[in-house]
């Protein structure tokens, strides 16, 4: 089912490509609209300036008689105002007369005087009733006798000229934007393909691990993927170590059950039927051994991805309990308040409990606990634990013998052997080390370093 869903789900490259295409199209569309509006505004500004220049050309040749009659001396020969149907038109209106430029021959401008006040001007990029752009201004013309005649001057240009210019610009603009979109999309696809190739390499290595062709990720990957590959390797190592531990625990369990089962079998074969009490005692021993082996397997399993916790509250709780059991023992703790370590809470209880109880039992009445941060190669924080007492001490060779696998607690000499098997397994599960030495108090000094991978 998951494979079918995976096949139906679009690939990451398709998703990123579609997203990149949408972003590029949206961005270029907004840019195109902004540039188009800016060009249109610039064209309208240039149009207004052209029309205003045409108005000054009209006024330069205009004459107003005493009866407010209009006359025009003309403009330079190359002026569009003198060329019929040139696309540039002009007109002047007074209360008693109207003048149109020679370019209006054969053209009906249909532009009426609007009676603008003197100094008032108006610019319409396109008239509603004609496809023309019109600039008009109201002026006052002073006659020789001092009278002032009101003039309504207008200059118009064929709308088609600006429309053609804008249309040509738009064609070029969107053509180049389309080309830019293609280039950007191709560039983004190439940029996206590079990290996806790295992810494909990771997936390929994971596949080889699944098929048993290799036992860990061994490729060189970018720094951003290092946490992923390191954590995968840590999980693979942990899983492999836990599988070995459980297999070893099952072997130890089978070995421990072999003797009581053999005794029962031999008694039955010899015709010596065991009584209920004897069977009950044998079964109880077997159950106790099963529980012990399963608990040891659980404790010896390796841990990864642990959230950091503070050791101080756990140490304080253990010390408070031991002070009730051993009121004659003086406990001293040196655990910083802000110290944190990536260790399971249950494991810290086991470590502190076993080490401190051993020191209280076999020391000389004084126990000291010190915790510090341990240097680790990974991103998880380690922990260094030191437990000292003022007892008789223990040489390194004897300590190493007590840590050897297969030596049971009931076979060890009196002293610090009790609980050290559990401590040793926990330390190994955290890739750590445990060493013994002479304490500053004169007794045994046990130093442990936990190094979460």
Is pLDDT larger for residue 427 or for residue 314? 314
The pLDDT of residue 255 is: 65
Number of domains in the chain: 3
Has residue 271 got a pLDDT over 80? Answer: no
CA–CA dist 151, 95 (Å, integer): 8
Please give the structure tokens belonging to residue 91: 């007109």
Helix (H, G, I), strand (E, B) or coil at 100: strand
Based on the domain organization, do 296 and 315 belong to the same domain?
no
Residue 383 lies in a domain: yes
Has residue 211 got a pLDDT over 80? Answer: no
CA–CA dist 94, 408 (Å, integer): 125
φ and ψ at residue 416, rounded to 5 degrees: -80, 10
Has residue 418 got a pLDDT over 50? Answer: no
What does pLDDT average to over the chain? 79
The pLDDT of residue 263 is: 67
Please report, rounded to a whole number, the percentage of residues in the chain having pLDDT higher than 90: 15
Helix (H, G, I), strand (E, B) or coil at 373: strand
The pLDDT of residue 98 is: 84
Q: What is the pLDDT of residues 103-151, one digit of tens each?
A: 888 887 777 767 788 888 888 876 545 578 888 898 888 887 878 888 8
User: Is residue 452 within 8 Å of residue 431, measured between CB atoms?
Assistant: yes
Residue 249 lies in a domain: yes
The pLDDT of residue 314 is: 93
Is pLDDT larger for residue 29 or for residue 264? 29
Closest C-alpha to 378, from 430, 451, 307, 301? 451
Q: Measuring CA to CA, how many Å separate 346 from each of 306, 315, 387?
A: 12, 12, 18
Query: Please, where are the H alpha helices in 133-275?
Result: 159-210, 226-269
Q: What is the pLDDT of residues 282-300, one digit of tens each?
A: 777 777 777 666 666 655 5
Based on the domain organization, do 3 and 121 belong to the same domain?
yes
Has residue 38 got a pLDDT over 90? Answer: yes
Strand partners, 262: none
CA–CA dist 275, 285 (Å, integer): 16
Residue 68 lies in a domain: yes
Q: What is the pTM of this model?
A: 0.49
The pLDDT of residue 346 is: 86
Residue 215 lies in a domain: no
Q: What is the pLDDT of residues 171-190, one digit of tens each?
A: 999 999 999 989 988 888 88
Based on the domain organization, do 255 and 389 belong to the same domain?
no
Rounded average pLDDT over 2-17: 64
Q: Is 406 exposed, middle or buried (0-12, 13-18, 19+ CB in 10 A)?
A: exposed
Residue 205 lies in a domain: no
Helix (H, G, I), strand (E, B) or coil at 158: strand
Based on the domain organization, do 287 and 346 belong to the same domain?
no
Q: Measuring CA to CA, how many Å separate 260 from each of 247, 291, 295, 312, 408?
A: 21, 16, 20, 44, 18
What is the extent of the structural domain holding 26? 1-191
Is pLDDT larger for residue 241 or for residue 359? 359
Q: What is the pLDDT of residues 319-376, one digit of tens each?
A: 998 998 889 999 999 999 989 988 888 889 889 988 999 888 888 889 999 999 987 6
Based on the domain organization, do 116 and 261 belong to the same domain?
no
Residue 240 confidence class, pLDDT cut points 50, 70, 90: confident
Q: From edge to edge, which strands make up the β-sheet containing 121-124?
A: 98-100, 88-93, 148-158, 132-142, 121-124
Least confident of 42-46, 164-168, 180-184, 415-419: 415-419
Based on the domain organization, do 117 and 262 belong to the same domain?
no
Is pLDDT larger for residue 91 or for residue 306? 91
Q: What is the chain's Cα-based Rg?
A: 49
CATH number at residue 375: 3.30.565.10
């Amino acid at each position: 089912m998951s494979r079918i869903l995976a096949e139906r789900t679009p690939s990451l490259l398709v998703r990123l490509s579609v997203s990149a295409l949408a972003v590029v199209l949206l961005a270029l569309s907004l840019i195109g609209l902004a540039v188009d509006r800016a060009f249109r505004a610039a064209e309208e500004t240039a149009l207004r300036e052209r029309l205003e220049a045409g108005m000054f050309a009209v006024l330069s040749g205009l004459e107003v008689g005493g009866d407010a009659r209009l006359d025009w001396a003309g403009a330079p020969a190359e002026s569009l105002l003198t060329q019929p149907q040139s696309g540039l038109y002009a007109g002047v209106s007074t209360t008693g007369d109207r003048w149109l430029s020679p370019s209006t021959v054969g053209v009906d401008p249909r532009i009426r005087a609007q009676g603008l006040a003197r100094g008032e001007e108006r610019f319409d990029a396109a008239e509603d009733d004609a496809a023309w752009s019109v600039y008009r201004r109201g002026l006052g013309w002073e006659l020789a006798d001092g009278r002032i005649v009101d003039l309504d001057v207008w200059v118009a240009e064929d709308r088609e000229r600006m429309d053609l210019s804008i249309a040509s610009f738009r064609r070029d603009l969107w053509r180049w934007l389309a080309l830019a979109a293609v280039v950007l999309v191709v560039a983004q696809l190439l940029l996206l393909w590079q990290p996806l190739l790295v992810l494909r390499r990771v997936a390929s290595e994971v596949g080889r691990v699944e098929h048993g062709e290799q036992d860990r990720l061994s490729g060189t990957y970018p720094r951003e993927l290092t946490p992923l590959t390191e954590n995968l390797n840590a999980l693979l190592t942990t899983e492999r170590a836990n599988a070995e531990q459980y297999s070893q625990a099952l072997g130890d369990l089978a070995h421990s059950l072999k003797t009581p089962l053999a005794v029962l079998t031999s008694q039955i074969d010899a015709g010596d039927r065991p009584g209920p009490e004897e069977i009950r005692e044998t079964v109880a021993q077997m159950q106790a051994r099963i529980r012990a082996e399963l608990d040891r397997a659980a404790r010896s399993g390796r841990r990864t991805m642990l959230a950091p916790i503070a050791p101080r509250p756990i140490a304080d709780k253990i010390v408070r309990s031991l002070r009730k059991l051993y009121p004659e023992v003086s406990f001293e703790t040196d655990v910083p308040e802000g110290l944190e370590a990536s260790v399971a809470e249950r494991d810290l209880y086991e470590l502190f409990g076993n080490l401190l109880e051993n020191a209280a039992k076999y020391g000389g009445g004084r126990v000291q606990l010190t915790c510090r941060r341990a240097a680790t190669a990974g991103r998880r924080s380690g922990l260094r634990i030191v437990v000292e007492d003022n007892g008789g001490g223990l040489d390194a060779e004897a300590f190493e013998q007590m840590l050897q696998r297969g030596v049971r607690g009931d076979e060890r000499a009196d002293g610090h052997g009790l609980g050290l098997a559990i401590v040793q397994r926990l330390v190994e599960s955290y890739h750590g080390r445990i060493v013994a030495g002479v304490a500053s108090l004169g007794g045994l000094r046990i130093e442990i370093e936990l190094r979460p991978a």
